Amino acid sequence: MTGNTTIQRVIIDRVRPEIDNGRFPVKRTLGEKVKVRADIITDGHDAISGLLLFRHERSARWRAALLKGFPNDKWKASFKVTELGRYVYTLCAWLNRFKSWRRDLAKRLEAGQDVAVDLLIGAALVEEALARVPAPQQAWLAACAKELRSDRSPDIRTRLALDPKLLARMQGCLPDRTQMTFYPRTLAVVVDPVKARFSAWYEMFPRSCSTAPGVHGTFADCEARLPYISDMGFDVLYLPPIHPIGTTHRKGRNNSPICEPGDPGSPWAIGAAAGGHASVHPELGTLDDFRRFVRRAKSHGLDVAMDLAFQCSPDHPYVREHPEWFRRRPDGAIQYAENPPKKYEDIYPLHFECAERRALMDELMRVVLFWVEQGIRIFRVDNPHTKPFGFWEWLIGEVKRSHPEVIFLAEAFTRPKLMQRLAKLGFSQSYTYFAWRHTAWDIKNYFSELTQTDVAEFFRPNLWPNTPDILTEYLQNGGRPAFIARLILAATLGANYGIYGPAFELCEARPREAGSEEYLNSEKYEIRTWEVGASDSLKDLIARVNRIRRDNPALHGDRSLRFHPVDNEQLICYSKHTADFSNVVLTVVNLDPHHTHAGWLQLPLSELGLDRDQPFQVHDLLSEARYLWHSARNFIELNPQVMPAHIFRFRKKIRTEHDFDYFL
Q: What pLDDT, on a 0 to 100 scale, did the predictor assign at position 579?
A: 95
Identify the bridge partners of residue 237 per DSSP, sorted by sequence position: 202, 304
Question: What span, in angstroms and rounded, lies between the C-alpha atoms of 277 and 281?
Answer: 10
- The SS3 of residue 89 is strand
74-80 sheet: strands from edge to edge: 10-16, 33-42, 74-80, 68-70
10-191 and 562-663 share one CATH topology? yes
Average pLDDT of every residue of the chain: 95
Task: Tell me which residue of 172, 170, 171 sits closest to 127, measured CA to CA.
Answer: 170
DSSP letter at 84 equals S
517 neighbors 472 (Cβ within 8 angstroms): yes
Question: What span, in angstroms and rounded, lies between the C-alpha atoms of 141 and 161?
Answer: 11
DSSP letter at 245 equals B
- The SS3 of residue 53 is strand
Question: What span, in angstroms and rounded, lies between the C-alpha atoms of 247 and 270?
Answer: 10
Question: What span, in angstroms and rounded, lies between the C-alpha atoms of 391 and 352?
Answer: 8
Q: Which amino acid is at 218?
A: T
Dihedral-angle region of residue 49 (phi above 0 means left; psi in -120 to 50 means alpha; beta otherwise): beta
Domain 10-191: CATH class, spelled out: mainly beta
| Percent of the chain whose predicted confidence (pLDDT) is above 70 | 97
CA 270 to chain centre: 30
Q: Which of 118, 307, 382, 457 is catalytic?
A: 382
Task: Tell me which residue of 651, 584, 585, 587 sits closest to 616, measured CA to CA.
Answer: 651
381-392 pLDDT, tens digit each: 999 999 999 999
Q: What pLDDT, on a 0 to 100 scale, did the predictor assign at position 430?
A: 98
Residues in the chain: 664
Q: Which amino acid is at 51?
A: L
287-337 pLDDT, tens digit each: 999 999 999 999 999 999 999 999 999 999 999 999 999 999 999 999 999
91 neighbors 51 (Cβ within 8 angstroms): yes
| CATH fold of the domain at 562-663 | Immunoglobulin-like (2.60.40)
3-state SS of 596-653 is CEEEEEECCHHHHCCCCCCCEEEEECCCCCEEEECCCEEEEEECCCCCCEEEEEEEEE
Give the phi and the psi of residue 100 in degrees, each rounded to 5: -65, -45
Q: Which of 411, 523, 526, 592 is catalytic?
A: 411
Dihedral of CA atoms 141, 144, 150, 154 in degrees, nearest 10, equals -150
Residue numbers of the chain with a pLDDT score lower than 70: 1-6, 653-664
362 burial level (CB within 10 Å; 0-12, 13-18, 19+): exposed
> Which are the contacts of 512, defined by CB distance < 8 A and separation ≥ 6?
254, 255, 518, 519, 520, 522
Burial code (b: 16+ CB inside 10 Å, e: under 16) for 613-646 equals eeebbbbbbbeeeeeebeeeebebebebeebbbb
554-582 pLDDT, tens digit each: 999 999 999 999 999 999 999 999 999 99
Q: What pLDDT, on a 0 to 100 scale, did the predictor assign at position 7?
A: 79
Q: What pLDDT, on a 0 to 100 scale, did the predictor assign at position 651?
A: 85
Exposure on the CB side of residue 383, measured as CA atoms within 13 A:
12
Q: Which amino acid is at 308?
A: L
Q: What pLDDT, on a 0 to 100 scale, did the predictor assign at position 8?
A: 86
**DSSP alpha helix (H) spans, 300-439:** 317-321, 357-373, 389-402, 416-425
392 neighbors 384 (Cβ within 8 angstroms): yes
Question: What span, in angstroms and rounded, lies between the C-alpha atoms of 170 and 477?
Answer: 70
**DSSP alpha helix (H) spans, 130-163:** 135-149, 154-161
661 neighbors 613 (Cβ within 8 angstroms): no
382 is catalytic: yes
Could you give the C-alpha distances from 307 to 203, 217, 368, 399, 465, in angstroms and in order? Answer: 10, 18, 10, 16, 19
Question: What span, in angstroms and rounded, lies between the C-alpha atoms of 302 and 140?
Answer: 58
Handedness of CA 327, 331, 336, 340 (dihedral sign): negative
First-to-last CA distance in the chain?
A: 67
616-644 pLDDT, tens digit each: 999 999 999 999 999 999 999 999 999 99
Q: What is the pTM of this model?
A: 0.94
Provide DSSP, 163-192.
-HHHHHHHHT----GGGEEE-S--EEEEEE
Question: What span, in angstroms and rounded, lies between the C-alpha atoms of 442 and 448?
Answer: 10
Domain ranges, ordered by start, for the chain: 10-191, 206-463, 562-663
| CATH fold of the domain at 206-463 | TIM Barrel (3.20.20)
51-99 pLDDT, tens digit each: 999 999 999 999 999 999 999 999 999 999 999 999 999 999 999 999 9
- The SS3 of residue 600 is strand
